[in-house]
Amino acid sequence: MLTTLNPRVSIVIASHRKDSIEKCLEGFSGDIAGFVDFEIIAVADYSFDDLKRKYPEINWKYHNDKNIPAKRNIGISCAKAPITGFIDDDCVPLPDWIIAAAGYLEQNSSLAGVAGHTVVEVKNGVSYPLKEFLRLEKPGFRTNNIFYRKDIILKAGGFDERFTFQREDIDLAFTIMDMGVKIGYCPDVKVMHLHRDKEYWDLLKNCRNRRFDPLLYNKHPAAYRKWIGTPLTPAIIMMTLLHAATLAGIHFGMSAAPALLIDTGCALILGIRKNNSPLKNILRILRDGFSYFIAPLVMFAALIYGSIKFRRFLLA
């Protein structure tokens, strides 16, 4: 039951998408908690007067910055419950979400927290138009669906606000595991990730956000290599090698036209593979093909920038 008195679980939503948070909040009207009392703390960087009138039972907090971990830290500081759960504003909790997490942590008292399972939204008979988003269904430490004991979060120092947009969630998980406690996984703790149809340049945005990887590697070198391995995806590695081969071929006398044609063709093939319905997404394929073509440049620029800023060299 949603309450502000003695909740057993505090849910923190760090929001920067006003157009999607209502779908997230509507999900809490279903049977997600059973007999477990919980509170919701929403920390947003936009005006929410209208939402506050519509959802007065939610604890609304304003933060004049898009820094995601800073918003989560504000939510943690306001949380009254011994368990703090996190969900993103573009996700919807599914039935028994809270009670499954609370029950799992009650039965596994030695664990610091529990990560849940994310399913992608099915729309028009298919899941995401981008296969890229299916990665969200793989287990991880993402704060779109994870619960921690609040005292453990505080002992870990909360979220590192230097990770302004990405990697802050896995950084906290690594810090907690470095403390000698484990984080469990329960497939019954489910949320649904909504469509983000307007994320046209998501690949390049993710490449740009790799600027935080040198900081993560600097803090947790062993865990980084164990859980992540390298900041470079197979597709980025392939395009990097193709670009290098193209430049080498041109340097040694190969005609530029066929070399660039092969290079561009491979980028378009990757764009097609990324989409579930290629014939219906021609413009998206062209955008994704272009994104793959320039992704190595964006990725390495981000890694070099991060290596300089955080004083830890990481390119692969």
CA–CA separation, 188 vs 117, rounded Å?
Answer: 7
Two tokens at 307? 């290596």
At 280, the amino acid letter reads: K
Whether pTM exceeds 0.85: yes
The mean pLDDT of 232-241, rounded to a whole number, is 90
Please report which confidence band the pLDDT of residue 250 belongs to, taking 50, 70 and 90 as the band edges: confident
Residue 248, pLDDT above cutoff 80: yes
Secondary structure E strands in the chain:
9-15, 38-44, 59-62, 83-87, 91-93, 113-120, 145-149, 183-193
CA–CA separation, 189 vs 58, rounded Å?
Answer: 22
DSSP state of 57: T
- Spatial neighbors of 11 by CB under 8 A, at least 6 apart, are 28, 38, 39, 40, 41, 84, 85, 86, 87, 98
Residues 195-199: contacts with CB within 8 Å, 24+ apart? Answer: 195/121, 195/123, 195/128, 196/90, 196/133, 197/129
Give the lowest-confidence range in 171-175, 198-202, 275-279.
Answer: 275-279
The full set of domains in the chain, from first to last, is 9-198 (3.90.550.10), 200-316 (no CATH)
- State the angle between helix axes of 282-310 and 256-274 in degrees (0 to 180), rounded to the nearest 10: 100
Query: Residue 127 has what pLDDT?
Result: 45
Q: How many CB atoms lie within 10 A of CB 148?
A: 26
Query: Residue 134 has what pLDDT?
Result: 59
Residue 228, pLDDT above cutoff 60: yes
- Spatial neighbors of 93 by CB under 8 A, at least 6 apart, are 24, 27, 28, 30, 32, 87, 190, 191
The mean pLDDT of 232-255, rounded to a whole number, is 85
